[in-house]
Amino acid sequence: MHELSVTEKILDIVLKHARVNHVRKVISITLIIGEMSDLENEWIQHYFDYLSKDTVAAGAVLKIEKVPIVLKCNLCGQTMEIRREEIGGTCCSGCGKAGDFSIISGREYYIKEMEAE
Confidence tier at 103 by pLDDT (50, 70, 90): very high
Scored b (16 or more CB within 10 A) or e, 37-75 reads bebeeeebbebbbebbeeebbeebebebeebebbbbbee
pLDDT, tens digit (0-9, with 9 covering 90-100), for 89-100: 889 989 998 889
Rounded to whole angstroms, how far apart are CA atoms 22 and 93?
50
Q: How many CB atoms lie within 10 A of CB 111?
A: 15
Q: Are 55 and 89 in contact (CB under 8 A)?
A: no
Handedness of CA 38, 40, 41, 44 (dihedral sign): negative
Q: Could you give the number of structural domains in the chain?
A: 1
Tell me which of 103 and 1 has the higher pLDDT: 103
In DSSP terms, 81 is beta-bridged to 70
User: What is the reported pLDDT for 85?
Assistant: 87
Q: What is the pLDDT of residue 99?
A: 80
Domain around 101: 2-116
Report whether pLDDT(1) > 90. Answer: no
111 has a pLDDT exceeding 70: yes
Report the pLDDT averaged over residues 63-71. Answer: 96
Q: What is the pLDDT of residues 20-39, one digit of tens each?
A: 999 999 999 999 999 998 88
**Where residue 106 sits, what CATH number does that domain have?**
3.30.2320.80
